[in-house]
Structure 1
Amino acid sequence: MSAVFVNVAPVFLLILIGFLVARTGLMREETGDALAEFVFKIALPTLIFRTLAEAHFEGASPFRLWIAYFGGVAVTWTAGHLIAKHVFGRDDKIGVIAGMSSAFANNVFIGLPLVGRSVGDDGLVALSILLAIHLPLMMVAGTILMEHASAKVDGGGRRSLVTVLKQVATNLSRNPLVIALTFGLAFNISGLGALPVVLKSVVDQIAAVTAASALISLGMTLKKYPVHGNLSLAAVMAVLKLLLLPAVVYGLAHLLGLSKPWTAAIVLTSSVPTGINAWIIATRFRSGQSLAASVISITTITGIVTVSFWAWLLS
């Protein structure tokens, strides 16, 4: 257990450092935003590009990995939506935000550093394969469901599926992570071999600062997601996020016969705190912002315990 804690604790300690730096005013909030922008636009894309460019897939199919992970997402999202609607008596819009908050893991800012430390390169390859469709699929699902819920709750028309898909596709085409995934896979299958020595040195140095920068920047942004309102519902969604989602992914990964590194990678990343995308969708549709913010903060505060448990189980 001590070895597991050595891998997990630094991840959350770096988040705590970022939070304290912002909370005490040691660094301005704008600095945290700038650091997060550097991580999102340069550091993480560089790490993803290098991982995929140098990966040895050896004919491994991604479909079982996707089925295991998104099967868990579907079960958890559905459970969160139904609990919010039928147990807490909330409307369909809150139901969508609740479901999304319980099923949208922070795979990028926390998942990548955690998997890199705990599983290694094989785990990063698995996570990169997951990220290839994670953001597009989750954002399309969240947007379509919120469009439907808004039309039902607020009345009026809703945008067509084609319009929604065009908007999401446009946004994703400019997303640095999607671009890095595309170029990394293209380089891998091109047969060009290893990266040139000078370029590899630069890429390695940028990739080396990714984990710490991502976690500290995340901690600095937590001030934007205070725990307030919807506490009972948020607590239940946090339990679904930290326990139900990884449990279902774990079970499906074993049923589908995924390798040990790939199983560890997708279970660990499914166990991390909720990502900010749930809050982005809530803000876009002006419903459930406080719920999404509370789930983000609660899962981040308590995540060190549950993530350590899953890391121990997987070890």
Structure 2
Amino acid sequence: MSSVLANVLPVFILILVGWLAAKSGLLKAETGDALGEFVFKIAVPMLIFRTLATAHFEGVSPFRLWSAYFIGVAITWTAGHLVARHIFKRDAKIAVIAGMSGSFANNVFIGLPLVSHIVGQDGLVAISILLAIHLPIMMIAGTILMESASAKVDGTAARSVGAVLKQVGSNLARNPLVIALIAGLIFNLSGLTMNAPIGMVVDQIAASASPAALVSIGMALTRYPIKGDLGLSSSVTVLKLLLMPAAVFAASWALNLPRDWAAALVLTSSVPTGINAWLIAQRFRSGQSLAASVISITTAFGVASVSFWAWVLT
């Protein structure tokens, strides 16, 4: 267990470094925003591009991988929704945010660095394949469910599924991660290779993704205080850190995924909640404190949950 903790701790220490730098005023909030933008638009896309451009996909099907992960998402999202509605007696909008907060892992800023550090190249391939559909599915599902919940709670007219898909599709078409995924796959299938100078530049930018992502998410955490709905927030935290990775673990075993792929999925499912849950809450003006609290609490306890699942996988 000590060796597992030694592998996991650096990830969360870098998050703590970012949090302390922002909280103490050593670095301004604008610096964190700029760093996060660099990570999202340049560093992580370059890492994804390099991973997929050089990956070997012979005989590999992504459908079992996607199925294993989203079985875990569906189970956890449903559990979060039911807990909010029937145990804590919250309305349908809060229930959607509870389900999303419990099942939307921070795969980009924490999952990728963690898997890179613990699993390695094969794990990065698995996460890159997952990211090809993770954001579209989660944002489409979250938006459609919140539109429906808003219609019930507020009496507003829900947009059609087609309108939601059009909006999300337009956003994704400009998303740097999606562009990097497509570019990496095209480059891989083309049979081209990068010459030494270009390859060195790509490698250096990709290498900056992990530390920069972790420091930037730490700085961003200062904006998500723990307040209100602590009972529900704590319950959703348990679902996120324990139920979701357990469900992904069971699904990966049942679908007989390769060991490295299963490890990558379980580890990334055990990481703290991503900020997209808060973005959905903010957009629909409901559940902001719940989403913010879950992000902060899952990050605070993330080192324990990730270490536990890394130990289980050894």
What TM-score, normalized by structure 2, do the two folds share?
Answer: 0.99
The residue that corresponds to 2:137 in the other structure is 137
> Displaced runs of 4+ in structure 1, greater than 3 A?
none
- Secondary structure class of the residue paired with 2:58: coil
Secondary structure of the structure 1 residue equivalent to 2:214 = helix
Q: Which residue of structure 2 lines up, in the alignment, with residue 52 of structure 1? A: 52
Amino acid at match of 2:120: G
What is the alpha-carbon distance in structure 1 between the residues aligned to residue 157 and residue 285 of structure 2? 17
Match in the other structure for 1:185:
185
Q: Distance in 2 between matches of 1:221 and 1:261?
A: 30
Q: What residue in structure 1 maps to residue 259 of structure 2?
A: 260
Residue 115 (structure 2) pairs with residue 115 (structure 1): yes
Cross-structure match for 1:296: 295
TM alignment of 1:65-76, pairs within 5 A: 65-76=65-76
Determine helix, strand or coil for the equivalent of 1:59. Answer: coil
Aligned-residue Cα RMSD (Å) equals 0.5
The 5 Å alignment of 1:14-25 reads: 14-25=14-25
Task: Letter of the 2:137 partner, please give it.
Answer: L
Tell me how far apart the structure 2 counterparts of residues 15 and 222 of structure 1 sit (CA, whole Å): 9
Deviation of 1:5 after TM superposition, in Å, equals 1.1
Instruction: Kindly state the Cα deviation for residue 197 of structure 1 after the two structures are TM-superposed.
Output: 1.3
Alignment match, 1:240:
239
- Hey, what's the Cα distance between the residues in 2 that align with 1:276 and 1:129? 21
Q: Deviations over 1:138-183 (max 9, x none)?
A: 0000000000000010002111111000000000001000000010
TM-aligned CA deviation for residue 204 of structure 1 = 0.4
Look up the match of 1:2. 2
* Whole-Å separation in 2 of the counterparts to 1:245 and 1:204: 33
- The CA distance in 2 between the partners of 1:113 and 1:149, in whole Å, is 35
Quote the Cα distance in structure 1 between the aligned partners of 2:6 and 2:60.
31
2: CA distance, partners of 1:20 / 1:133: 34
* Identical positions, percent: 68
Query: What's the CA shift for 1:59?
Result: 1.6
Unaligned runs of 5+ in 1: none
Structure 1 residue 229 corresponds to structure 2 residue 251? no
1:51-86: per-residue Cα shift (whole Å, max 9, x none)?
000001122100001010000000000000010000
For 1:221 and 1:62, the matched residues in 2 are separated by 32
Distance 1:256 1:230 in 2: 37
Question: In structure 1, what is the equivalent of residue 30 of structure 2?
Answer: 30
Spell out, residue by residue over 1:206-251, the C-alpha distance to the aligned partner (whole angstroms, 9 max, x if none): 0111100000000001011000001010000000000000000000
Q: Does 1:270 align with 2:269?
A: yes
Gaps of 5+ in 2: none
